[in-house]
Structure 1
Amino acid sequence: MSEDLRWRNFFDVFEEGLQDAPEQEILGQVMDLEGRYQGYSWSDLVMLARRGQAAYRKLGLRRGDRALLALPTGEAFFAALLGAFREGICVAAVAPRENLRTAVTLREVESVRRIYGPDVIVADEGVDGCLHMAPQALLSAEPGNGDWAAPEEVQYVQFSSGSTGTPKGVVLSMNEICANLEMMRQRLSVWGEQRGLSWLPLYHDMGLFGGFLLCTYSMVHVTLMDPTLFVRNPLLWIRQMSERRATNTVTSPSALMATLRLLQLRPQENLDLSSLIRVIVGAEQVTPRLVELYHQVLGPHGAPPEALLPTYGLAEATLAATIPPLNSGLQVLDCIHRQHRLRQHQAVPSDPEDENAETWVACGSPLPGMELKIADQDGTPLPERSIGRVFLKGPSMLRGYLLDGQYHDCLGQWLDTEDLGYLADGHLFLTGRVRDLIIKGGRNFSPERLEDLATTLDGIDRAAAFGIFDPERGTERMVVMAEVHPRWLRNEERRMQLHKQLFQELLAADYPIDELRFVERGNLPRTTSGKLRRQECRSLFLEAEA
């Protein structure tokens, strides 16, 4: 453990809850748009963990084996996750798929299988060549007995993309997970009679660690919603904040932006958001416009102005790396000179009235135990207000990567996040990123994976994928340009059929593209060695839009 940070064993939390208040409700779930509700006590969660543990044992799985979960938010997910934690089985989670048989989805599942090598897939539907367990098998298993796994055992793998965009599995033990939960608990003062609320998916690190497990670790009640309910009616989330007197909630900037705009269009009566203490916003850039809209739309309903907390994190840190100190006042904004940033890589303060002025929102300071430096590509630290790469080191950083089934150790090393930013008065400001990663709706999408999946369909030879930031949405638009065989371009009916099929299959594989443009063969810019020039493709797209 870090000399400056001590954390509890997650499993001790469950044992304490079971011993001190077994029938106390600690978790709830909003089941439908009408607000139907299901509550779970400590004893309920431990029973689900025991059932999950027994189901894994019945399949012959043991400590160190790997399970891949593709389940919606609900008791089957809780049983699968907690049962795996109890038995010492490593878990990874992906979005539940309505149809695991489309060409694009099958290739995506194959990619995850190649990286992670699961021994079992827990989902409604199985995949050829891999052991399958249905959700009902988890819930009907006779509860087993056994101790929780040791905290140093690998317990979770979440998927990330490095500078090349090649998918990698971020390997975490319960030690790294609990270290990050403790870091967040201390910075946010999560305790006692507070109440959490989250709609984020549990296969996303912010939903799992920031929404669900942070509250459970802190022995604070949390209410969860499946993300499909949020998509169908984002205002249900706001209504639940008011009705359940939520103190803590987490979301992405783009989701918050969309919800605020919807609330402007569809005003709600009798909303009381005065209970809010923390509206934790991360996974994307927080813009000054979002800060302004938060105050403008939620302020009249009692939301405290200081509750909005822009944060920074990544899968390799388990979740959070920086969060503003609680009760530190309003959000910190910094006005700098655009040309100095672009040409000299310096964040030089500017008069807001200057035509070259631009404003950035701070995303907090490093969490307790987390080391952060701004450095050049070799790791040499840069002075304050110099723009460089964000490097991180701390007890919640990943153990290593899984890449094509092989483990690569990273424990104790500085991590080059390849995000760009600067420090000013102890605050981190993010200004961009080195890599081409697409960030939409708070989720990271590898352009290489998207390009590879697009070429699964007959008629598409090559593809370029990139993101374009949309200030109105507060997130990136996901764009695909695809080189198409001439016979498809010449025939309008076939072209439209291919266009529709690609849209549908990418969406089914959980790649929500916004725009798809077909071009003739040879029209995507490439280097002399044949490497795709993704930024040049992006420029061509923007020129055509102008």
Structure 2
Amino acid sequence: MILSGGPPPAPAAPDLVALLARAARHPSGVTFLDLRERATALGWGEVHARARRAAAALAARGIAPGDRVALVLRTEPAFLDAFFGALLAGAVPVPLYPPVRLGRMDEYLAATARMVSVSGARLLVAGGAVRRLLGEVVARARPALGCAAAEDLSADGPALERRVDPSDLALVQFSSGSTVDPKPVALTHGSVVAQTAALLQLLRPGPADRLVSWLPLYHDMGLIGGLLGALAHPGPCVLIPPEHFLARPALWLRAVARHRGTISPAPSFAFAYAAERVRDEDLAGLDLGCWRVALDGAEPVSPRVLRRFAERFAPFGFDARALTPVYGLSEAALAVTFTPPGRGWRSRRLDPAALAARGEVEDGPREVVSVGVPVPGVEVAVRGEDGALLPPGRLGRILARGPSVMAGYLGQPAATARALAGGWLDTGDLGFVDGGELFVHGRAKDVVIVRGANHAPDELEAPLAAVEGLRPGCAVALGFDPAGEGEELLLLAERAAGADPAQDPRRAEAARQAVLERAGVRAHTVEILAPGTLPRTSSGKLRRGEALRRWQAGALAPPRRVNALALAKAAVRSWAGYARARLPRA
């Protein structure tokens, strides 16, 4: 069966350049909050004017229509200057994540250099201390790469605003890379505005609505669902740097309450993190009753986390019906399915015996959350390995098609052909339909097969959250073949900060027992790791496949300790990289 979201709505403007010009006439805009909750506000009109100056500055550096411009910027006004400036110059912004783990700087520089080269960027824009660390990226890039200071783009000077076509490339955003290296997703202006139009039809924001987001602007949920969604409305948008949320999670809920936020998205880990870390005194005198849509997506939605968050913040006015599970991916611009706002979330508890008898979902007892129905303009199908449509309740691969689906992976025709066929996008995820709604089972490549039974890794990982001395959300369940006789279960889990490593054998046995009791699977190997050891994507997802590869190669190690000397060495290497980049290339 095929689920349909109905006809696509007409976008408010044909492209992002026109969308920004339209928003410039609206009195609202973007407010940035710092760690002390101090606000810096820019009206949409000012965002547009700064972007026109940035566009002229980029053109003066030789940036022509269609050129890619890599952006390594934090959540700050400079990001808006560079991002919208590139669009108004007719160029294509490529948002990349800034360094977050200084102890993994070598890995970061190698990954960033790869993404810059894969995207074919002609210019890299960065600011402040980050720019001083990127010399090696500039030196390694092919083709030759220029580097501009973000602060120079907004200086007073001439203005530029080039026309674009809906079919022109608007944005290159890299896939999360949870199972493979991140791929460059090419989105046209038409795809992005189609996505924002669908979101607006679902959310139906009014004059009183205000978006609050701490999600990074280099990620589709923060950029397209947050910033560009507010632009398309147009309406007010409050942005918090993600590193500030991680350091002080109460900032998120305080911003929702103090700025009367009505729409705010986050992945499941953030709801769990806030429920655990935010204290009553952090919200004293504040009311979360204004929050009408709390979008939960970007990773598996946990029913336990949804219940915990609703119970924890009910005393502060939070309405559990605001919790809105959603599903999407960067290759679809963002959203594929959406729980109807205000309805509340639904789940289904699987009966493993009955399902196994019918040849369907095969793993242990679990509760799966519905991620709703297709967004307007999108169709969703669940197909078997032979490509045939599956009836409701049968587990298969999730495919989607609609106007916001990517044009392809930039410069990668073979990967594009594997992902797109006949207009249908193979998401790489497994799921099933029940009651006209989609339930996501997990990534096909992440499924653990032990003695012929399929197990979703998150269900094998969930019991570890209750094991004393382990970091919640910092464990992976993997399948491996230790003796060439069949796949077994491997658990890799990080110990909590400050926990005694001498107790790791006890923790490993407790982890093995917890998984056996909850999921009925006994782990062959359990290894306890130092905090920060497991590799993650730019959006914070655990990279299970990369963790297995490193573990098997004996290369799974924690980040190096960072001190003033290490930072000085990184700065020297960066300076040398900039110097090499100025030399003629062989």
TM bucket, shorter chain:
0.7 to 0.9
For residue 430 of structure 1, the aligned residue among 414, 421, 440 is 440
Distance 1:313 1:507, change over 3 A: closer
Distance 2:182 2:543 in 1: 22
In the alignment, which residue of structure 1 is the partner of 2:22? 16
For residue 323 of structure 1, the aligned residue among 328, 332, 338 is 338
Distance 1:217 1:335 in 2: 38
Q: Is the Cα–Cα contact under 8 Å of residues 341 and 347 in structure 1 kept in the other structure?
A: yes
In the alignment, which residue of structure 2 is the partner of 1:346? 360
* 1:365 and 2:373 aligned: yes
Give 1:151 deviation, angstroms: 2.1
Bigger drift between 429-438 and 82-91 goes to 429-438
Distance 1:423 1:508, change over 3 A: closer
Distance 1:61 1:226 in 2: 28
Distance 1:509 1:177 in 2: 21
Matched AA of 1:434: A
Matched AA of 1:379: G
For residue 105 of structure 1, the aligned residue among 92, 103, 108 is 108
Question: In the TM superposition, what whole-angstrom CA distance separates every residue of 1:362-408 from its partner, at most 9, and x where no partner exists?
Answer: 11110011000111133311001111111101000001112569994
For residue 298 of structure 1, the aligned residue among 298, 304, 313 is 313
In the alignment, which residue of structure 1 is the partner of 2:399? 391
Give 1:226 deviation, angstroms: 0.7
Question: In the TM superposition, what whole-angstrom CA distance separates every residue of 1:406-454 from its partner, at most 9, and x where no partner exists?
Answer: 994758611111211111111111112212399xxxxxxxxxxxxxxxx
Distance 2:121 2:115 in 1: 9
In the alignment, which residue of structure 2 is the partner of 1:529? none
Q: Is the Cα–Cα contact under 8 Å of residues 7 and 376 in structure 2 kept in the other structure?
A: no
In the alignment, which residue of structure 1 is the partner of 2:81? 79
Aligned residues: 469
Q: Is the Cα–Cα contact under 8 Å of residues 49 and 86 in structure 1 kept in the other structure?
A: yes
Distance 1:391 1:65 in 2: 31
Give 1:518 deviation, angstroms: 12
Identity of aligned residues (%): 28
Question: In the TM superposition, what whole-angstrom CA distance separates every residue of 1:160-212 from its partner, at most 9, and x where no partner exists?
Answer: 26897243211001110011111111112123221110001101111101121
Query: How is 1:51-130 mapped onto 2 (pairs within 5 angstroms)?
Result: 51-97=53-99, 102-124=105-127, 125=131, 126=135, 127-128=138-139, 129-130=144-145
Q: Aligned Cα RMSD in Å? A: 3.8
Distance 2:323 2:531 in 1: 38
Question: Mind listing any 5+ residue stretches in structure 2 that lack a counterpart?
Answer: 1-5, 449-459, 480-527, 557-586
Bigger drift between 132-141 and 201-210 goes to 132-141
Distance 1:265 1:428 in 2: 36
Question: In the TM superposition, what whole-angstrom CA distance separates every residue of 1:115-169 from its partner, at most 9, and x where no partner exists?
Answer: 2111111113242252101111212251413334222210111112689724321
Give 1:107 deviation, angstroms: 1.6
Distance 2:58 2:414 in 1: 24
* 1:36 and 2:44 aligned: no
Distance 2:550 2:398 in 1: 37
Distance 1:412 1:162, change over 3 A: farther
Secondary structure at the counterpart of residue 284 of structure 2: coil
Matched AA of 1:430: V
Distance 1:478 1:33 in 2: 32
Q: Is the Cα–Cα contact under 8 Å of residues 230 and 236 in structure 2 kept in the other structure?
A: yes
Matched AA of 1:283: A
Matched AA of 1:477: A
Distance 1:269 1:302, change over 3 A: same
Query: How is 1:143-292 mapped onto 2 (pairs within 5 angstroms)?
Result: 143-160=158-175, 165-263=180-278, 268-292=283-307
Distance 2:24 2:186 in 1: 29
Give 1:58 deviation, angstroms: 1.3
Secondary structure at the counterpart of residue 200 of structure 1: coil
In the alignment, which residue of structure 2 is the partner of 1:524? 552
The alignment's TM-score, normalised by the length of structure 2, stands at: 0.72
Distance 1:267 1:104, change over 3 A: closer
Q: Is the Cα–Cα contact under 8 Å of residues 310 and 364 in structure 1 kept in the other structure?
A: yes
Secondary structure at the counterpart of residue 430 of structure 1: strand
Query: How is 1:463-502 mapped onto 2 (pairs within 5 angstroms)?
Result: 468-469=461-462, 471=465, 475=473, 477=475
Question: In the TM superposition, what whole-angstrom CA distance separates every residue of 1:475-494 from its partner, at most 9, and x where no partner exists?
Answer: 4536999xxxxxxxxxxxxx
Distance 1:504 1:407, change over 3 A: closer
Distance 1:513 1:400 in 2: 25
Q: Is the Cα–Cα contact under 8 Å of residues 199 and 229 in structure 2 kept in the other structure?
A: yes
Distance 1:437 1:238, change over 3 A: farther
Secondary structure at the counterpart of residue 318 of structure 2: coil
Question: Mind listing any 5+ residue stretches in structure 1 that lack a counterpart?
Answer: 349-354, 439-466, 482-498, 527-531, 535-546
Distance 2:398 2:307 in 1: 27
Bigger drift between 470-479 and 140-149 goes to 470-479
In the alignment, which residue of structure 2 is the partner of 1:402? 410
* 1:419 and 2:423 aligned: no
Distance 1:512 1:284 in 2: 8
Distance 1:437 1:69 in 2: 34
Secondary structure at the counterpart of residue 373 of structure 1: strand
Distance 2:158 2:475 in 1: 46
Q: Is the Cα–Cα contact under 8 Å of residues 478 and 512 in structure 1 kept in the other structure?
A: no
Matched AA of 1:303: F
Distance 2:529 2:429 in 1: 35
Secondary structure at the counterpart of residue 139 of structure 1: coil
The alignment's TM-score, normalised by the length of structure 1, stands at: 0.77
* 1:27 and 2:30 aligned: yes
Distance 1:432 1:506 in 2: 19
Give 1:236 deviation, angstroms: 0.9
